[in-house]
Structure 1
Amino acid sequence: MRGSLKINVDAAFSVESKQGATSCIIRDHVVSFRLRKRKWYEEGYDACSMEAIACKDSLIFAAQLGFQNVMVETDCLQLVQLWNRRDDQRSIIDSSLKEIAELSLAFQEFSLSFASRICNKVAHTLEKQVSESHRSETWHVTPMCVYDLVVSEASAG
């Protein structure tokens, strides 16, 4: 739909170091890549909380781009389940869920849904590229590390 964005997010978390990384891929209604972002975080709680942070980061970017219809996809089923029951339960990521809900008010339409890792390959690959030495990067063109995946997705779609 014209004026809409599809955003795939992914996150990683190291139990040993308590550090994590997030990534998001933002596509417009014609599946053109608008923005790719990855970011390193010194502290995290767990993989689900890092995935929630990835969602928050992606909504901030989407709002800056001025789009009104946003569909966020994550491969973290636990996050989607907590989102869908956010009014009926308490979890360690309640504050993140509230922030996501607040950010979602900037859009006419918003959804958060589950996508298998197979459908989330580009975001997953970017998140694996983040490190302490490469803490944050934003691309407006397709980075070489995911170029083949992007071409494959475009030809399949």
Structure 2
Amino acid sequence: MQMGIPPSRVFKLNVDGAFSSNGSMAGIGAIVRDSKGEVIMSAAKKELSVMIVVEVEALAILRGLQFCIHLGIHNLVIESDSLLVVKEFNKKGSLKDTFDNVIREAKELMTQFGTCEVQHVNRSCNEVAHSLVKFGLSVQNISLWWGAYPDVISNILWSDSSTL
């Protein structure tokens, strides 16, 4: 279920991060949609050097921002289901958490956008990114789809579009 469609000329990036069931590896999922809900890009990536859950959630935002910069996007709304990470991104001042380098790097990238904000959504509104991250745990390194998406999320996207 989608949180909502962004205004015209604003793109929405949904991200999620997770660990495998045995905790041996982490992955991220990201999907970018335009104001019509059309998929611009989707990605699933394995991350090898992540230590804690909030770090992989923050890393998902960083990777999503890196993808969006390459797409030439200027206005972006980022949605994550990690309330702690969203609060860290929206904090003013210095960071002192174990994952502060990831957030600092992502905040630096955010300055390259005309507008860029990070919002919290419930897991039920982030199912596409969550399915992508589960898929990401099984990829060699990274799988990218430009203007497309893998079959594993097609039912969720169809359900999203029917609720608009």
Q: How high is the TM-score relative to the length of structure 1?
A: 0.92
**Where in structure 2 are the equivalents of 1:5-20 lying within 5 Å?**
5-14=11-20, 17-20=23-26
User: Equivalent residue of 1:59, what SS?
Assistant: helix
Q: How far is 1:112 from its partner? A: 0.5
RMSD: 1.7
The amino acid of 2:163's aligned partner reads: A
Tell me the distance in 2 between the aligned counterparts of 1:43 and 1:88: 24
Question: How many pairs align?
Answer: 157
Q: How far is 1:133 from its partner? A: 4.8
**Where in structure 2 are the equivalents of 1:128-139 lying within 5 Å?**
128-131=134-137, 133-139=139-145
Q: How high is the TM-score relative to the length of structure 2?
A: 0.88
Counterpart residue number, 1:147: 154
Higher relative contact order (CA 8 A, sep 6+): 2
Percent of aligned pairs with the same amino acid: 26
Q: How far is 1:80 from its partner? A: 1.0
Deviates more, 1:129-138 or 1:102-111: 129-138
Q: How far is 1:94 from its partner? A: 1.2
Counterpart residue number, 1:102: 108
The amino acid of 1:115's aligned partner reads: V
Counterpart residue number, 2:128: 122
Is the 1:49–1:93 Cα contact (8 Å) retained in structure 2? Answer: yes
1:33 pairs with 2:39: yes
Query: 1:30-76 CA deviation, whole Å, 9 max, x = no partner?
Result: 11101110100122111110011110111111111111110000001
Is the 2:30–2:44 Cα contact (8 Å) retained in structure 1? Answer: yes
Query: 1:71-96 CA deviation, whole Å, 9 max, x = no partner?
Result: 00000111012222251551111111
Q: Relative to 1, partners in 2 of residues 1:81 and 1:18: Cα closer, same or farther, differing over 3 Å?
A: farther
Tell me the distance in 1 between the aligned counterparts of 2:151 and 2:88: 35
Deviates more, 1:139-148 or 1:100-109: 139-148
Tell me the distance in 1 between the aligned counterparts of 2:150 and 2:22: 29
Q: Relative to 1, partners in 2 of residues 1:80 and 1:134: Cα closer, same or farther, differing over 3 Å?
A: same
Mark the runs of 5 or more structure 2 residues left unpaired by the alignment: 1-6
Is the 1:10–1:123 Cα contact (8 Å) retained in structure 2? Answer: yes
Q: Relative to 1, partners in 2 of residues 1:18 and 1:34: Cα closer, same or farther, differing over 3 Å?
A: same
Mark the runs of 5 or more structure 1 residues left unpaired by the alignment: none
Q: Relative to 1, partners in 2 of residues 1:133 and 1:38: Cα closer, same or farther, differing over 3 Å?
A: closer
Tell me the distance in 2 between the aligned counterparts of 1:79 and 1:137: 24
